Amino acid sequence: MDIRRFLFITLIIVVLIGVVVLVGGSQVSPATIIVSMLATTIAVATPLTLGALSGIFCERSGVVNIGIEGMMLASAFFGWFAAIYMNTILGVQPLPSLLTGVVVAILTGGLLGLLHAWLSITFKVDQIIGGTVINLLAVGISGFLNRQLFFEKGSIFGGQVPHAPGVLPRIQIPIIANIPMIGKIFEQQPIAISAIVLVILSHVVLFYTRWGLRTRAVGEHPRAADTVGINVYKMRYWNVIIGGMIAGLAGAYFTLESVPSFEPLMTNGRGFISLAAMIFGNWSPFGAWAAALVFGAAQALQINLQFFRTLIPPQWAFLQQSSIVGLVPYILTMLILTGIIGRTTPPKADGVPYEK
């Protein structure tokens, strides 16, 4: 990542945290606010980080995936459903139920990834339209099943929403947990931790393994890759499926880690914002993570301002309006796409179907 973008990211995060310190500093010590802001930032950046990683796997292999939003939404629903089914109908303990939910969410994402691969690689459907199909399908299926399974009389839960088995518990990582401040910041729930682990893992896989080299080859110059004996279709299929599974894990964040409930349309554009994070991070895992943190910080600002809303001085009254502060991530996304904060270079064959 070039220095200009690194400075931009740092600056934005500092400003966003600074606003909360200015507003709430008189009541709570600045150090506490900073620690809490950073911890919230990492937590709420989780689906964005994972979404961006999902996009990176797809696009590094040459397939554009705007269906990440839908993959997240569908996985959030099916993961949640599986967890509740295990817990209430089969009587399994909460923690194993939740973990089953996570597995189901990942599988749901993988399945939708397979659908996207099938459409865009085998049928060569325009990839933007293929992604849109997945988005609409996810909205329809999750909305329909949510109503049919939970709210209709005579459904398996008898027409009332059953108690969810809670959310995944926080983990204390040995050694890190004992460091002052840092320990508090990284005391996160499992999906948030695994997102960070996956960032490192993806970097290693993409840039230091044979698999990664082949993935990048079919995304940059599929013809050349084909000539040296790499199976372009197979590489693309697997990368899109892996991308789908990562999006599925992001979906699990919404219903199994963040809140113990499902609402229609609850992903709220996070899948699309993560694509902006991927672009801003120049299709590299660490860059995308940094960009995701900016969006996370913008959202953390919104959450923390709600918390301190009585302390907001009257001349800044607009900060009380969550619908105004809530605009920040969306405007940031558009700014990033204009390229004024540094141009990026997508994989050369990104979005181009390969004809043998």
Binding residue (CB under 8 A) for another protein from 269, 306, 316, 317: 269
Judged by DSSP in three states, 173 sits in coil
Q: How many residues bind another protein (CB under 8 A)?
A: 56
Residue 122: CB partners within 8 Å, gap ≥ 6?
233
- Pairwise CA distance, residues 321 & 336, whole Å: 24
Q: Contact between 34 and another protein (CB under 8 A)? A: no
Q: Contact between 148 and another protein (CB under 8 A)? A: yes
Piece in contact with another protein (CB under 8 A), picked from 102-110, 122-130, 217-225, 308-316: 122-130
CA–CA distance from 151 to each of 57, 131, 139, 159 (Å)?
37, 29, 17, 4
- Pairwise CA distance, residues 327 & 111, whole Å: 33
User: From the centroid of its chain, how far is CA 279?
Assistant: 14
- Judged by beta carbon, residue 31 or residue 324, the one nearer another protein is 324
The contact pattern for another protein, residues 296-335, with x = CB under 8 A and - = no contact, is -------------------------x-xx-xx--xx-xx-
Q: Are 214 and 57 in contact (CB under 8 A)?
A: no
Nearest distance in Å: CB 156, another protein? 9
- Judged by beta carbon, residue 20 or residue 279, the one nearer another protein is 279
Q: Contact between 276 and another protein (CB under 8 A)? A: yes
Query: What angle in degrees, to the nearest 10, is found between the helix axes of 270-280 and 68-84?
Result: 130
Q: Are 81 and 148 in contact (CB under 8 A)?
A: no
Q: Contact between 96 and another protein (CB under 8 A)? A: no
CA terminus-to-terminus distance, the chain:
34
- Judged by beta carbon, residue 41 or residue 127, the one nearer another protein is 127
CA dihedral 141, 142, 144, 145 (to 10 degrees): 100
Q: Contact between 119 and another protein (CB under 8 A)? A: yes
Q: Which two tokens stand for residue 170?
A: 């926080």
- Judged by beta carbon, residue 14 or residue 129, the one nearer another protein is 129
Nearest distance in Å: CB 136, another protein? 4
Binding residue (CB under 8 A) for another protein from 31, 152, 201, 223: 152
In the complex, the residues that contact another protein under the rule CB under 8 A are 64, 66, 119, 123-130, 132-133, 136-137, 139-141, 143-149, 151-155, 268-269, 272, 275-276, 279, 321, 323-324, 326-327, 330-331, 333-334, 336-340, 343-344, 346, 350-352
